[in-house]
Structure 1
Amino acid sequence: MPLFILLPDKSGRGTTGPLGRYSGIRKEHKRWLTAGLILLVAVVLLFALRWRKEEFDWSLFGSTLLKLRWSWLAFAALLGVSTYYARALRWAVMLRHLKDRPNVWGLFSATAIGFTAIVLLGRAGELVRPYLISVKEKVPFSSQLAAWLIERIFDTLAAMLIFGFALTQTAKVSLPPDSLLAWILRTGGYLAGLASAVSLGVFVAFQQSSETLSKRLGDALGFLPGHLHARVSKLLESFVLGVRCVRDRSSVFALSAFTLAEWILIVASFAACFRAFPALDPLGLGPILVTVGFVAVGSLIQIPGIGGGSQLMIIVVVTEIYNLPLEIAGGLAVIVYFITFIVILPFGLVLLVAEGLSLKRLRELEAQELA
């Protein structure tokens, strides 16, 4: 994943004015974004049509979007932006051992710009955020890569819990209670929850004696081929460095609390998206949690910079589990894409320009840092 940061040139003034930089960004990516969104909708709908072998009613799809409750959409967008602020607060916890008072607004700015880079550049923009934070807070870049890894771990654990719940609820809703498949889904859900709890316990154990456990794991994996062993050892070193970002149990508790807050906001944002569709009124909190659980897993399957897996999961859940028309499911998939993925773009672009940054220069400095 390349890393990009835009800073002024040697004169301190930058190569162009803010408006020029913004115009360049806009011109460079406007067509790409438009094509990407069209491709996203086309791929998702064509896949769904081929899979379900039925025609798509464009008039129903259009009327579904025209009947949207815009007040709920605005609320969903507000909640969506709030999730990024929750991420900034959580990141501040991982900076405490390096800085007494991290600048939360600076962390939010870096978060907004970082996710904007992901929207515009795909997974190549993943490391923009830790790099910007390392520059803003004047801390080692390696420490922020480690913090990024810990963040991913906590989000994965939360996603596993919700996915486990989704599996148990799917078994109740769509299958006979005594069927083998229902038992498999229920068991899988319980195992996902158990795995999440055990993983958190392992994290706490590493926190207490990270270097010793890392060395023992490295020795135990000595049978791996040289290049693979080197990669695993490097990953363990990054993990140990990340664990050092969380030096006491109060920090683990704070990370867990902010992760919980973030996912509550995510679920609330999905709930607001559901309420924006009159046709989805019969679906309560349970179906919304099921959708979030499957979407969390679907997010692992992505068209770079566009998405896709999450939208497909929404269509599968809404049509196959809750038996609603494909057109409504497709409309929900498009709206959720904008609320969860695109909503940060205006904020990120404004902050990018306000801080005198540009994506091109960001790429160059990232490449230098990772070289």
Structure 2
Amino acid sequence: MALVVLGALAYRSRRIINLQDFSWDRLVLAVRHARGSLLLVSLLAIYAAYAIRALRWARFCRYLGRPGFLSIYSATIVGFAALFLLGRAGEPIRPLLIARKERLPVSSMFGIYVLERLFDTTSTAVLAGLALLFFPEMLSLGGADRAWEARARGMALALFAGLLAALVFLVYFRLHGAAALERRLEGWRTSTGWKRGAAAAFAGFSEGLQAIQTLPDLLAAIGYSASHWVVVALIFFWVPHSFGGRLAKLDFAGAMLLLAITMAGSTLQLPAVGGGSQAASFLALTVVFGVEKEPAAAASIVLWLMAFAASSLVGVPLLIREGWSMGELRRLARAEAEVKAAGAHIDVPEAPRAQQATSQKLGEPPR
């Protein structure tokens, strides 16, 4: 919720920026003079972040089996590529592909997906809180005064208080509340409308929490999550620095705040290329950090390409190699969305190429 508020505030502040004197020539010039070495390191880093995600998912699956890292890693890259190409409709693709590749229960994979999103949201909130609490003076780059810095510290303290309350709730829910809540929601599963959807959401959340049964499980999840988001924050540090000028003055704390605002903006559905994430990073760079519009626009575009679009470079070839098409993935996502309303999940089919190979091994004509 705190990140959504950050994104909404950034979106409402869009009127501060006057785009009438925006120069496309200066934008092109900023892109042409960017340091390619830092951009290449950022590109490699995003795939390292996907690898950490795959390791965390494999850890969450340890009570269900021993999944292979490479299969989860490839499904992770394909899943993010589908999310980029299909938008929100592509969200179910990654858990569905992992369930198919590793022969794991689909419901458990969606439970882990809910748990993963919880850790991601918490991690980005922590990054924003740390940046606001310990380094509010960096906001002076955009003309913030002492009163603004005091409000930033207060916002950070409120953010950490909310996270502490959420942690207490999760511990209680894991130890005592899950079974009791499932019994109370038993009747909702047979009802219609929002009650059935709420019961399914709580069931997925409860099932995801089964991946954390011991203190080492929790510490491993925290470690993987922290490592992942530190790598992503480094990308948000390197990309602005590649453009030089005022963007090169952005320190790591500023990169953490920029990342948090960008992720908050990604929750907003805006009718533009890059959507809310690109708009949020542009507003953060111009309004909060005082960067000129053209370099800020260039950095925002490249950040969006690195954080959201780069998965397609490897993800699309992987899709082709496994025999999937975008139409088939779209139908898979649509079918999952339809049965999800009833509190269930679809059975994951084999990839078309895998089906053909199996048929040929059995002596059947290919379909």
**Shorter-chain-normalised TM-score: which range?**
0.7 to 0.9
Q: String of CA shifts for 1:214-262, please: whole Å, max 9, x gaps.
A: 258759xx9xx98444332222111111111222222111111110111
SS of aligned partner of 1:96: coil
How is 1:158-237 mapped onto 2 (pairs within 5 angstroms)? 158-168=123-133, 169-170=135-136, 173-174=139-140, 175-177=144-146, 179=147, 181-215=148-182, 227-237=193-203
Q: Which residue of 2 aligns with 1:247?
A: 213
The match for 1:324 among 268, 275, 291 is: 291
**In the aligned structure 2, how far is the partner of 1:226 from the partner of 1:354?**
41
**In the aligned structure 2, how far is the partner of 1:228 from the partner of 1:365?**
23
Asked if the contact 2:90–2:333 (Cα under 8 Å) also holds between the matched residues in 1, the reply is: no
Identity of aligned residues (%): 26
Q: CA deviation at 1:306?
A: 4.7
What's the TM-score once normalised by structure 1's chain length? 0.78
**What is the one-letter code of the residue matched to 1:176?**
D
Q: Which residue of 1 aligns with 2:359?
A: none
Asked if the contact 1:49–1:55 (Cα under 8 Å) also holds between the matched residues in 2, the reply is: no
Q: String of CA shifts for 1:189-235, please: whole Å, max 9, x gaps.
A: 1111222233233223322234345258759xx9xx98444332222
Q: CA deviation at 1:71?
A: 0.5
**In the aligned structure 2, how far is the partner of 1:317 from the partner of 1:245?**
36
Q: CA deviation at 1:304?
A: 7.6
What's the TM-score once normalised by structure 2's chain length? 0.79
The match for 1:84 among 40, 45, 50 is: 50
Residues 116, 305 of structure 1: CA spacing in aligned structure 2 closer, same or farther, 3 A cutoff?
A: farther
Asked if the contact 2:261–2:281 (Cα under 8 Å) also holds between the matched residues in 1, the reply is: yes
**What is the one-letter code of the residue matched to 1:117?**
A
Q: CA deviation at 1:112?
A: 0.8
Pair 1:334-2:334 in alignment: no
The match for 1:265 among 228, 231, 239 is: 231
Instruction: State the number of aligned residues.
Output: 319
Residues 57, 364 of structure 1: CA spacing in aligned structure 2 closer, same or farther, 3 A cutoff?
A: closer
**In the aligned structure 1, how far is the partner of 2:168 from the partner of 2:16?**
44
**In the aligned structure 2, how far is the partner of 1:257 from the partner of 1:322?**
30
**What is the one-letter code of the residue matched to 2:327?**
K
- Greater Cα offset, 226-235 or 115-124: 226-235
Q: Greater RCO between the two (CA within 8 Å, min separation 6)?
A: 1
**In the aligned structure 2, how far is the partner of 1:161 from the partner of 1:207?**
22
**What is the one-letter code of the residue matched to 2:145?**
P
**In the aligned structure 1, how far is the partner of 2:230 from the partner of 2:114?**
21
How is 1:71-150 mapped onto 2 (pairs within 5 angstroms)? 71-99=37-65, 101-150=66-115
Asked if the contact 2:27–2:298 (Cα under 8 Å) also holds between the matched residues in 1, the reply is: yes
SS of aligned partner of 1:302: coil
Question: Aligned Cα RMSD in Å?
Answer: 2.7
Q: CA deviation at 1:140?
A: 1.2
**In the aligned structure 1, how far is the partner of 2:184 from the partner of 2:152?**
32
Q: CA deviation at 1:151?
A: 0.4
**In the aligned structure 1, how far is the partner of 2:330 from the partner of 2:28?**
40
Q: CA deviation at 1:341?
A: 1.1
**In the aligned structure 2, how far is the partner of 1:216 from the partner of 1:186?**
42
**In the aligned structure 2, how far is the partner of 1:192 from the partner of 1:217?**
31
Q: CA deviation at 1:145?
A: 0.7
Q: Which residue of 2 aligns with 1:276?
A: 242
**In the aligned structure 2, how far is the partner of 1:49 from the partner of 1:58?**
20
**In the aligned structure 1, how far is the partner of 2:130 from the partner of 2:276?**
19
Residues 147, 286 of structure 1: CA spacing in aligned structure 2 closer, same or farther, 3 A cutoff?
A: same
Q: CA deviation at 1:50?
A: 8.3
SS of aligned partner of 1:52: coil
**In the aligned structure 1, how far is the partner of 2:315 from the partner of 2:272?**
15
**In the aligned structure 1, how far is the partner of 2:67 from the partner of 2:271?**
32
SS of aligned partner of 1:281: helix
**What is the one-letter code of the residue matched to 1:95?**
C
Q: Which residue of 1 aligns with 2:277?
A: 310
**In the aligned structure 2, how far is the partner of 1:137 from the partner of 1:349?**
21
Structure 2's unaligned 5+ residue stretches are 1-12, 340-367
**In the aligned structure 2, how far is the partner of 1:60 from the partner of 1:367?**
43
